Structure 1
Amino acid sequence: MSSQAKENNTSADEDGIYIALISVHGLIRGRDLELGRDADTGGQTLYVVELAQALSVRPDVKKVELFTRLVRDDSVSSDYAEHYEQLNDKLQIVRIEAGADEYLPKEQLWDHLDAFADNMAAYFRRQNCFPDILHSHYADAGYVGSLLTHWLSIPLIHTGHSLGRVKRARLIASGLHNDEIESLYNMSRRIDAEEHTLASSERVITSTYQEIEEQYEVYDYYQPEQMRVLPPGVNLDNFTPPLGNELNSNLFARLIAHLKEPDKPIILALSRPDTRKNIASLIEAFGLSQSLQDKANLVIVAGNRDDVEDLESGARQVFHELWAMIDRYDLYGKVALPKHHSRDEVPMIYRIAAASGGVFVNPALTEPFGLTLIEAAASGVPIVATEDGGPRDIIANCRNGLLIDPLEPRTITDALQSLLDSPQTRRDMVRQGLTGVKEHYSWQAHAERYLQEIYPIIKQAERLPRRPVSRRSELYKDRAFVSSLDQNLMGSPEALQEMLRLLKENRKTTLFIIATGRRLDSALRLLKHHAIPEPDVLISGSGTEIHYAPDLTKDTAWEKHIDFHWTPHQVRSLLDDVPGLARQAKSEQSHFKISYLVDTRQLNPEDLVGQLHQEEQTVTVQFSFGQYLDILPIRASKGMALRYVVDRWQIPLERVLVAGGSGSDEDMMRGNSLAVVVANRHDEELSQLTDLDRIYFAKNSYEKGILEAFEYYDFFGQCRSPQEEE
């Protein structure tokens, strides 16, 4: 602390700790939180209020104050214009004036944050009492906290809630260009504030280890030793085991209205209708097992809908896929997809599943935290969950369920079967889950571990030693490496590990892109099998789908872009009876990719291009590996998808290195990009590229050829062809 703060602050040893929480934006009050009113009044506001309440009831805490922005605006409640709101004898909300009176979204607050920090410091001086620790929430509060920690020498703790570098990838996925992102979201200022906060904080609190490893690592001031995993608490007053009347409720009657045998245990899934939630694989797992169908019903609560055609395209596509799965496995009367539920009914839905003797399932492809799993555990339901991300931590702590491979439906079937077949195992997991949630995920447990973390910092016994770190000159990544899968990354495990090490070492500067003809699920399965980490960008389906790390966010703008004059039913009707063509398996088909096997003894694939154009089909035709034929929308290919991605990430093609091994990679390698053809290229595909200056034909195969190209182009250094003039 500053000398003034030390002089005026009462010792924490004498009568407890004084904690100042900072959450600048949103509408924050102690009762009737307006959750969901807008993008700024959601999970973060609930988190900070519940954290403040949990800390304030601790005997070793003297005072908790939650600082937020004062708002005088007729369009919102007058509650937000009150300077002080007392929640209990040790907790109050303090509203600080900063900038204009009206309610502003967080993106418009940056110019007012210095005034917020000045007025907050003035408040401490007027009270003649300074906090023992500051805890900032989100980037804007982090900026305020970093100013105060340097002015007053009060240690700073930070929780990011979400990160600008990750948010930017999601905004790119939504179709926004960089200048739009900067204009709408002030992204450069946000990321700069986050970097400054990381450099200033004694501790950064996250919900999972995955958040540390996959999100914070891309920051220049990333210091993992300063980070601690403290999962948010669950309000155990809301989520409780069954009370005994659940199966007589009106809600139960609504949930099971379309089930033939409603008395069976319920396998419950509850999530948004999002492809990443992988609900279709759950239906497939259920459909593959007659034994499972005999034992239980499947209830999927996937948002609310009146007319599915009114939903946005991604959600609409999910529901159509679910209904197709139900039809394929003839699961009518065994699967329920209720249309409506309210947020207040969610605890009861869990209790209904528990009372029925059921199981909760989260089969998501990626799950950063897994709040629904904690809610289910607190409600007395054992869980089956994806082995990706947060569920690993939850099941390790609570010992109340089984992990599954979300890409292998059989593992879902087996896990559900084992729990339903063993009532004693199920009862043990229910009991362990209830105990584990209370011990690890209640607000009381959170507050206790929180104080264990901050008390040594307050006593200056555990101030974080600062490693020498510096900011890069570039705010964002400035180069990209692109590789296909099958012909490039499946040949030399030792060279693969060296390649991955180099990419990880240069992760802050290098965008790692996989571009494959495989479908998303097939590509993810192969990546997992070879222990290849999720790339920053995954282009799948020969360029028809684009997903972004860390949670496989789909680029919906690209999907809309390629859906141009695309009539797949007409293409199929033209080609399905052509001699020499045979449709590939359903697992290789998608809405934007029609895939065939070609017998070149009967058919020259190039003849099909003219035939399709004569029938006025504006399509892209790709032939690879001597037998695979893909028909795509005219605007879709690996090369077009790659150029779309690097344009939005503002990486010049001259600093993009493409590794290819088959004909379907060719349009990625032509033009201004740097390229390498690995020695194991399929037959003579890509041999026609030998005359192009920016294409290097490696002497080595697979990953060794890629490592050779890294050195040839000095990819992580100058990143250019040695043939270029100095």
Structure 2
Amino acid sequence: MPDHEGLYILMLSIHGRICGTPELGVDADTGGQVGYVLDEMRALARDPRVARIDLLTRRFSDPATHPIYGEARESLGSGARIIRLSAGPSQKYLQKERLWDYLDTFVDGALQFIRSENRIPDIIHSHYADAGYVGVRLSRLLGIPLIHTGHSLGRDKRERLIAAGRKAESIDRQFRFSRRIAAEEAVLSEASAILTSTRQEVDKQYALYENAAQAHFVVLPPGVDLRRFSRPGRQRSSPLLPSLRRFLEAPRKPAILAIARPDERKNFQRLVEAYATAPDLREQANLILVMGQRDRFEQIPHGARGVIESVLRTVDDYDLYGQVALPKHHEPEEIPEYYRYAAIYKGVFVNPALTEPFGLTLLEAAASGLPVVATRHGGPQDIIRYCRNGILVDPLNIGEMQDALRQMLFDRRRWQRASRAGLMGVRRVYSWEAHARRYLAEVERILRRQRKQLRRESAARQGVRRALPTADHLLISDIDNTLIGDPAGLAALIEWLGEHPRVAFGVATGRNLKQTMEVLAAHQVPRPDICITDVGTRIVYGNTLHEDQDWAAHLHYRWWREGVLQTLAEIPGLRLQEKPAQSTFKVSYYVDPKRPPTAKDLQQRLHQQRIAAHVVLSHTRYLDVLPIRASKGHAIRFLAFRWGLPLHAVLTAGDSGNDADMMGGEICGVVVGNHSPELHGLRDRHHIYFASACHAWGILEGIQHYHFSGDLHV
């Protein structure tokens, strides 16, 4: 394990209403995943190897929801907490499909939270595609391994909805499948482990993804809380009978029980049709549908309202009154009673979903001694294989569903065998304690592999200090003629950095990444926490050199590289530099000192062609054309915002023209003594210090001037 303090696990589950006592079923986004995550957290927190586990989710103060969701923190006991971060409208609860535009804000909030806690997590665990999007970015920024649980998958769900008769264009608009699937592909390519509940999830559902071949899958089924879900024992009656008499003429008949949120993917409509069109089932059994919580109809989300309306119409069309129960409310402690009620009267539990990633309700039924009929698409295959307590069916085939219900309800010997087998199987295979043990074994494997990788790094890489997430200051230096040029000064600066671990260190250079790594290694400079290369057009992080894709996306704005090449092709005094000097967001030229074009003239030519770019001249010999949003200074400010650092906690150092925009404003700028004439115009600028000493000695002089890393006297 990482150290004597124990593991720190950071979980991400963003959508839905998450609290210590969850309102499961209150809406389409507060279902099985929420219960799964909370149970998993509590099981892990009970293990002595885990020191701390935090769950990051969204914070909102919607008047229509419980006030707890506006609380920033909620303790679950045993070192487990729910941390709520603002992302999107704070006064409004949003469905998960509407959260995609706010996930980058959630990333920034997560970084701020990690910084404030002063400890870096050992592992990040994301749940569902939206959290996977956030988890990938946090993993890239922090260099922390990511594990992921999908819960349900976009490609598989899309195919099932189309098979059920939905139009592709309609469901793509409603469920944002393009963004969801892209996030899932990214997780597959970058996560250290993908946790699945079943082998079928790997072989059938993830097989639809291009990046599945390179992913590492771990089949790790969830558990069931055997303290809540248990067989009826010697009970001959149920406390639910009085409330069910409001719906049922004969409430002691065997019950066909279904429990799920009112989502069209749960396929309630076909279950009701299967019951309604089978006279023998209607005569000998009741149908009980527990479909979340609801008060007034107009307050129900549109999708859920459509499901409930469809069920009510079918009840009315087939005159099922007195045979179907549709309770509007239930308390959390009543859910186990529904399973026990159905078991007392020799009923059956049904999960008719179009696809079910796992099927936790099937385990709850098994632990209650209740046989099941379940969809054959997804996790129920594994559950039935281990527990042998039911029948799998095609959820789109009403006749097949009816036959399975008849077998379980009308064959008492089969019912007894399935009931006993389910009780034995769930205790043998499915428990949260066993889940936690296997989970932590996988985490230990990932962390061991990470440590081995770090040990294989070169001497330069071994000097890496993972200071960035907990840093409160940031030092960014140009390389050529600033950081390097005086070996003794460089050694003194490296020693200073070692003595100040809360100062993150970065370089900003016109070189490309390969050249940057080579020159740093040649001068025995430890790998920086941040590298801003290619004149500010590229940001990479730390040991693993993960590129900041958000910065790259930011630079695409109105950038037309081919247009730059065409516009400047015939300008006298310009010659394209070699291919290694070029990049996606940088066009580099040599300047003829005998007939140099002015930067102003070149900028004007580009502007006339409606090309949003700016021109940087360095050492009177080199010229770079960059996207309008790109520069070392913009990159540094982007980083300061992302990492929550005030600009006066950033110190930059340089010697030439392409370093100018790193300085000024609230940033503490240092111009080293060996600077080029291009920087003379900065002498009277606010927060720019001209050092007398050269190279790294000049940086140290600037550090002393600003009292950097202590109280900043600025």
Match for residue 460 of structure 1?
449
Q: Does the 8 Å contact 1:282/1:412 carry over to 2? A: yes
Match for residue 341 of structure 2?
352
| C-alpha distance in structure 2 between counterparts of 1:221 and 1:444, whole Å | 32
Match for residue 194 of structure 1?
184
Q: 1:25 to 1:449 in 2, by over 3 A?
A: same
Match for residue 370 of structure 2?
381
| 1:216 matches 2:206 | yes
1:336 to 320, 323, 326: 323
**1:22-421 matched pairs, under 5 angstroms:** 22-30=12-20, 32-36=21-25, 38-71=27-60, 79-98=68-87, 101-103=90-92, 105=94, 106-107=96-97, 109-110=99-100, 112-165=102-155, 177=169, 188-223=178-213, 226-242=216-232, 244-245=234-235, 247=237, 249=239, 251=241, 254=244, 265-266=254-255, 268=257, 276-277=267-268, 278-279=270-271, 282-283=274-275, 287=279, 296-301=284-289, 303=291, 336-340=323-327, 342-344=329-331, 345-362=334-351, 367-403=356-392, 407=397, 409=399, 413=403, 416-417=406-407, 420-421=410-411
| C-alpha distance in structure 2 between counterparts of 1:66 and 1:57, whole Å | 15
**Identity value in percent:** 41
Q: Does the 8 Å contact 1:286/1:413 carry over to 2? A: no
1:371, distance to aligned residue in structure 2 (A): 3.5
Moved more, 113-122 or 390-399: 113-122
| C-alpha distance in structure 2 between counterparts of 1:305 and 1:125, whole Å | 40
Matched residues, number: 439
| C-alpha distance in structure 1 between counterparts of 2:58 and 2:222, whole Å | 23
| C-alpha distance in structure 2 between counterparts of 1:80 and 1:411, whole Å | 40
Deviation digits for residues 293-346 of structure 1 (CA, Å, limit 9, x no counterpart): 7xx5344437599999x99777666666678779xxxxx99x821243533344
| C-alpha distance in structure 2 between counterparts of 1:317 and 1:29, whole Å | 31
Q: Does the 8 Å contact 1:35/1:42 carry over to 2? A: yes
* Pair member with larger Rg: 2
Q: 1:250 to 1:451 in 2, by over 3 A?
A: closer
1:133, distance to aligned residue in structure 2 (A): 0.9
Q: Does the 8 Å contact 2:200/2:381 carry over to 1? A: no
Q: 1:459 to 1:109 in 2, by over 3 A?
A: same
Match for residue 430 of structure 1?
419
Q: 1:119 to 1:403 in 2, by over 3 A?
A: closer
Q: 1:463 to 1:369 in 2, by over 3 A?
A: farther
Q: Does the 8 Å contact 1:383/1:401 carry over to 2? A: yes
1:428, distance to aligned residue in structure 2 (A): 4.3
2:7 to 7, 11, 17: 17
| C-alpha distance in structure 1 between counterparts of 2:117 and 2:193, whole Å | 27
1:19, distance to aligned residue in structure 2 (A): 0.9
Q: Does the 8 Å contact 2:9/2:123 carry over to 1? A: yes
Q: 1:282 to 1:152 in 2, by over 3 A?
A: same
In structure 1, give the amino acid aligned to 2:325: P
1:152, distance to aligned residue in structure 2 (A): 2.5
SS, match of residue 459 in structure 1? helix
Match for residue 563 of structure 1?
none
| C-alpha distance in structure 2 between counterparts of 1:256 and 1:80, whole Å | 34
SS, match of residue 64 in structure 1? strand
In structure 2, give the amino acid aligned to 1:436: G
Q: Does the 8 Å contact 1:68/1:96 carry over to 2? A: yes
| C-alpha distance in structure 1 between counterparts of 2:288 and 2:66, whole Å | 37
| C-alpha distance in structure 1 between counterparts of 2:150 and 2:408, whole Å | 39
| C-alpha distance in structure 2 between counterparts of 1:431 and 1:268, whole Å | 19
Match for residue 643 of structure 1?
none
Q: Does the 8 Å contact 1:359/1:382 carry over to 2? A: yes
1:56, distance to aligned residue in structure 2 (A): 0.6
Segments of 5+ residues of structure 1 without an aligned counterpart are 1-10, 327-331, 465-726
Q: 1:127 to 1:248 in 2, by over 3 A?
A: closer
SS, match of residue 241 in structure 1? coil
1:118, distance to aligned residue in structure 2 (A): 4.0
Q: Does the 8 Å contact 1:285/1:409 carry over to 2? A: no
Q: Does the 8 Å contact 1:12/1:18 carry over to 2? A: no
Deviation digits for residues 617-673 of structure 1 (CA, Å, limit 9, x no counterpart): xxxxxxxxxxxxxxxxxxxxxxxxxxxxxxxxxxxxxxxxxxxxxxxxxxxxxxxxx
**1:678-717 matched pairs, under 5 angstroms:** none
| C-alpha distance in structure 2 between counterparts of 1:318 and 1:170, whole Å | 20
Q: 1:302 to 1:463 in 2, by over 3 A?
A: farther
SS, match of residue 76 in structure 2? strand
SS, match of residue 205 in structure 1? strand
| C-alpha distance in structure 2 between counterparts of 1:462 and 1:252, whole Å | 60
Q: 1:284 to 1:29 in 2, by over 3 A?
A: closer
Deviation digits for residues 27-47 of structure 1 (CA, Å, limit 9, x no counterpart): 4333x4344555544443333
1:263, distance to aligned residue in structure 2 (A): 5.5
1:398, distance to aligned residue in structure 2 (A): 1.3
1:433, distance to aligned residue in structure 2 (A): 1.5
Moved more, 394-403 or 245-254: 245-254
1:20, distance to aligned residue in structure 2 (A): 0.8
Cα RMSD of the aligned pairs, angstroms, is 4.6
1:231, distance to aligned residue in structure 2 (A): 3.5
SS, match of residue 221 in structure 1? helix
In structure 2, give the amino acid aligned to 1:449: R
Deviation digits for residues 357-404 of structure 1 (CA, Å, limit 9, x no counterpart): 343345666555334322221211123444443322111111223445
Q: 1:298 to 1:44 in 2, by over 3 A?
A: closer
Q: Does the 8 Å contact 1:273/1:319 carry over to 2? A: no
| C-alpha distance in structure 1 between counterparts of 2:178 and 2:161, whole Å | 14
1:86, distance to aligned residue in structure 2 (A): 2.6
Match for residue 575 of structure 2?
none
| C-alpha distance in structure 2 between counterparts of 1:152 and 1:169, whole Å | 35
Q: Does the 8 Å contact 1:369/1:390 carry over to 2? A: yes
1:135, distance to aligned residue in structure 2 (A): 0.3
Segments of 5+ residues of structure 2 without an aligned counterpart are 454-714
| C-alpha distance in structure 2 between counterparts of 1:321 and 1:130, whole Å | 54
1:103, distance to aligned residue in structure 2 (A): 4.2
Q: 1:171 to 1:430 in 2, by over 3 A?
A: closer
| C-alpha distance in structure 2 between counterparts of 1:159 and 1:137, whole Å | 5
Q: 1:115 to 1:384 in 2, by over 3 A?
A: closer
| C-alpha distance in structure 1 between counterparts of 2:153 and 2:273, whole Å | 30
Q: 1:235 to 1:208 in 2, by over 3 A?
A: same
In structure 1, give the amino acid aligned to 2:202: I
In structure 2, give the amino acid aligned to 1:220: E
1:115, distance to aligned residue in structure 2 (A): 4.5
Q: Does the 8 Å contact 1:440/1:446 carry over to 2? A: no
In structure 2, give the amino acid aligned to 1:301: L
SS, match of residue 357 in structure 1? coil
| C-alpha distance in structure 1 between counterparts of 2:135 and 2:90, whole Å | 22
| C-alpha distance in structure 2 between counterparts of 1:287 and 1:257, whole Å | 19
Deviation digits for residues 483-510 of structure 1 (CA, Å, limit 9, x no counterpart): xxxxxxxxxxxxxxxxxxxxxxxxxxxx
Q: Does the 8 Å contact 1:279/1:364 carry over to 2? A: no
Q: 1:431 to 1:460 in 2, by over 3 A?
A: same
